[in-house]
Each structure stands twice: as structure tokens, then as C-alpha cells.
Amino acid sequence: MIIRKKENWLKMLFVWEGSVLPQILYRLILLLLISVFVVYCRGSVFNYKIQLNPGPFTLFGIALAIFFGFRNNVSYERFWEGRKLWGSLLNTTRSLTRQVQTLNGEEDNKEVNEFVNLLVSFTYALKHQLRHTDATPDITRISGVLLADKLKPAIYKPAMLIKEMGMWVKKRKAKGDFDSIQTTSFDQSLNELSNILGGCERIASTPIPYTYKVLLHRTVYIYCFLLPFGFVDSLGWMMPVIVVFIAYTFVALEAVADELEDPFGLEPNDLALNSLCTMIETTLLEMSDREVPVAPVREGYIQD
């Protein structure tokens, strides 16, 4: 995920890293070449003059902009909901760490650390599930080989880790460390972890309807490739520049919407899940009075 300080307006015009321009550059170059060819042929194809004028493109462009506004709002809403879920995960894991440290009568660092490790493992397992990667190395590093081997066959490792935390609370209650009220408090927090897991799974498994994306995609490119014929007579040799600029606006908006639609991916503007996991691990270890690993972060940029 790209995180930059506020920059000078002139520098913003030439920003490359984090923009969608690298993804759409070749499409814009193709449109530029087509526009130059249309100018050279004066809007004729096989000696047939294509009769188009700017009027229909102006009206249709307004309608297309409205549809794009809706499309980008839907994508950003998914992105922001994902960020709120991970913010809630940070708060819930902190609350659970505080509970295991303060609600029991006798402090047992070994058992407390075991529970904190389960929380950190849950965070990394959730990240890996959302990105369809293997969580075993991180679980092994945090909670040990035995738990990692136990969870290796599991399809939904975060759910299994919530179960392990529930079993941990059950054992402590059986030992008399927690009473019924405290156990209920733990259960509510574990239910909140389940809600966060379910919310992330809902976003990841429910994309924007494909037919809607195809319709908008086709409309944008048909519109952009017809633009040269509508403006060739009025703009002349300036037409390729104007057409590419208009196309950049629409094609870039589509690329941004596609990027934000899946907030848990690996695109430059997706959520920085690696950094969020590191932050949660750091704060929980710090609350447990344990050594905190320092993760190097490049200035102005969080890489996931």
C-alpha cells in the first residue's frame, strides 16, 4: 500500500509509483496511434467518411461518468469496510490480551503468552486466508510446530484458531482461574473475532457482479475508440492529445475500481495487511512485556 506525505502539486503530476498509469500505458499508446491514423485519414476508413460529431460523446460521457461514480463508490466502500474490520481486529486483540493479563487472580506468563501467540497466529492466518497463501510458516514461528502441524490440514485456519482460544479459556475456567462472568466476557470477544473473520470472508468471496463489470468495460473502450472519429474534424492534429487525456480519465477510473474491489490483494493501493499484522504482533508482545521485533519500513511506502 502506498502511503505518501503531502507533496507539491507539480510533483503530483509526475508520480509513477502507486498510480495506475503503468497498467494502462500500453492501452493509451494504442489509442494514441489509432487517433494519429484517424487524423491522417481525415476520419475516413476505406474511403468512407465516418460521420460523427462531439455532441453524442458529450452527452454519453456525462452518463458514463455517473456510472463510474457509482462503480468507484462501491469499490471504495468495500476497501473501507475491510479497513474497518482490520481496525476492529486490532482493538479486539488488545482487549483480549488485557483480559488474559488482568482478569485471572494469579499471573502465569507462560499460559498468557500461549494465548497471546494464538491471537497473533489468528491475525496472520486471516491474512493468508484472504490472500490464498500458506499460513503454516507464520503459525510455526509464532505458536510452534505442534500447533502448525495440527492446523495444517485445516481449510479455515483462522476459525480453528478461534476454537483453540475457546479451549484455552475452557481449561482455565476448569482450573478456577476464571468465573462464569469472566468466561462470558471472553466468549463475547471471541465472537467479535468470528464476526471480523466472517466480514472479511464476505468481502473476499463476493465480488462485484461480473456482468456489470463487463458491461462497463465494453462501454468504456467502445466510447474511447470512437472518440477520434467524433473530434477529428473539430480538433485536427490536437485531437490525439485530447482523446488520450479523456481516455486516461475513464480507463484509469476503471483500473482504480478494479484495484480497490479486492482490498486484501497485493496491488499497490490495497490494504497493507503485512504491516497491519506486524503492528498487531508488536502491540500484543509489548503489552505482554516481551521482546518486540522491529520491522524496517521504507519512508513514504508500505510494501505488501
What pTM did the predictor assign?
0.86
* Res. 199: pLDDT tops 90: yes
Q: Alpha-carbon distance 268 to 3, whole Å?
A: 10
C-alpha cell at 219: 462501454
> Largest Cα–Cα distance in the chain?
91
pLDDT band at 76 (very low <50, low <70, confident <90, very high): very high
pLDDT band at 27 (very low <50, low <70, confident <90, very high): very high
The residues spanned by each domain of the chain are: 9-287
C-alpha cell at 42: 481525415
CB 46 within 8 A of CB 229: no
Amino acid at the residue 178: F
| C-alpha R_g of the chain | 27
pLDDT digits (tens, 9 = 90+) for 222-261: 999 889 888 888 888 888 999 999 999 999 988 888 888 9
* Res. 122: pLDDT tops 60: yes
> Which of 68, 100, 302 is CA-nearest to residue 185?
100
Residues contacting residue 106 through CB under 8 Å, at least 6 positions apart: 177
Compute φ and ψ for 44, nearest 5 degrees.
-110, 145
pLDDT digits (tens, 9 = 90+) for 94-103: 999 999 888 7
Compute φ and ψ for 252, nearest 5 degrees.
-65, -40
Sign of the torsion formed by the C-alpha atoms of 134, 137, 143 and 146: positive
* β-sheet bridge partners, residue 2: 301
Question: Looking at residue 299, what is its pLDDT?
Answer: 40
Question: What mean pLDDT is reported for the chain?
Answer: 87
pLDDT-above-90 percentage for the chain? 47
Q: Alpha-carbon distance 184 to 132, whole Å?
A: 33
CB 254 within 8 A of CB 68: yes
* β-sheet bridge partners, residue 97: none
Sign of the torsion formed by the C-alpha atoms of 158, 163, 166 and 171: negative
Q: Which residue has the cell 487524423?
A: 39
- Based on the number of CB atoms within 10 Å of its own CB, is 11 exposed (0-12), middle (13-18) or buried (19 or more)? exposed
Question: Looking at residue 108, what is its pLDDT?
Answer: 60
